[in-house]
Structure 1
Amino acid sequence: MPPSRPDPATLAATLPATPALPPVERWNPSLSGDMDLRITRDGAWYHEGTLIQREALIRLFASILRCDEDSHHYLITPVEKWRIRVDDAPFRAVRLDVTGTGREQILSFTTNVGDMIAAGSDHPLSVEYQTPGGEPAPYLQVRGRLRALLTRAVFLELAELGEERPSDQGRDYGVWSQGQFFSLGRLDD
């Protein structure tokens, strides 16, 4: 008699909530070449100029994405390494969840590809200014050298949680997460 099939709900309950990512940091194949794949600053993925609309395909590609020391981004498997073009950061932080307050606060971000990351020492927040006094570009370290650009709505929500703090250079405005203070910018006196 063949074994009975498990019911889908029972099978789903045995699977991890977030599947493990492939160990791309351990794979070192030779460069296979350049692929006509581009991730725009707004998080859209294009292959040969055509927008990729299948979320499952984007998530698959995101799971094998790596940024190397040369600052180039690659889709990588154990046997292939394809260089792709990323206009800014490959991911976008599209949601912010907050638990706790003050130094005990935890800021958890969700990316456009489903990663859930709590800002902290392993996943720092940073804000860059391309030009002095220009628009801020806020980032969250996701994994390896891969970052997520915070959407404007998420950054504004984050800024509402900020507080002033003295620093060596004057006063910083920033937020706490997992006991670590992250500066969002310096305040002028």
Structure 2
Amino acid sequence: MGMFEEFEAKKAAGEALSLDDLTKEHLKTMFINEQKSDYMISQLFEVKESKITYRRKKYGITIRNSILDDYLLVKTDHAQEINNKVKAELLVEGNVTMIAKAITHFAFRNGPVEDMHAHPNNQLSEIDMETLNKFMVNRIAYIVKLIIEERWIELDFLIRNTDRWYGHRWDEAIPDDGNTRKIIELMLKK
């Protein structure tokens, strides 16, 4: 029995339904998961439809937000199926170079090193940049290959050994999506 049906059963049993009993989670479940309209929910609670619409929007419960969260955060079975399909299509030997180049641009080239290269004093020459780019792409390609081939022992060794000798005193990592989520949101709104 769904949330909407549970409230219907309470009402049928003579219980008075109050809008105060309608939590954000209840509303989201009924509107998104059970696909009940504002009108249907308003009839159940015996209030104007505009009260349900106002409350839903106040909580940020919209189809677009739900789809975005469900799919990007892989919260639903359908999103998990799509995520697994994309993973299977992406993590193949033929994509190693593409993935390595994309990660190099995302994590290295499109950051402070580009500013150093473009600086008027030309701190990094074109040859320096070519050398750095090639080095980064090749190293990342190796890591991607380990992931694709599921060579977890070798990847674990690489990570732990490198951290032990080189990076253990660096600052803690703060995940930075480089505005990727905002770009996806803008694309979905078109």
Question: Do these two structures clear the TM 0.5 threshold for a shared fold by scoring above it?
Answer: no
Specify which structure has the higher proportion of helix: 2
Q: Which has the higher contact order (CA 8 A, sep 6+)?
A: 1
Specify which structure has the higher proportion of strand: 1
Whose radius of gyration is greater, 1 or 2? Answer: 2
TM-score range, shorter chain: under 0.3
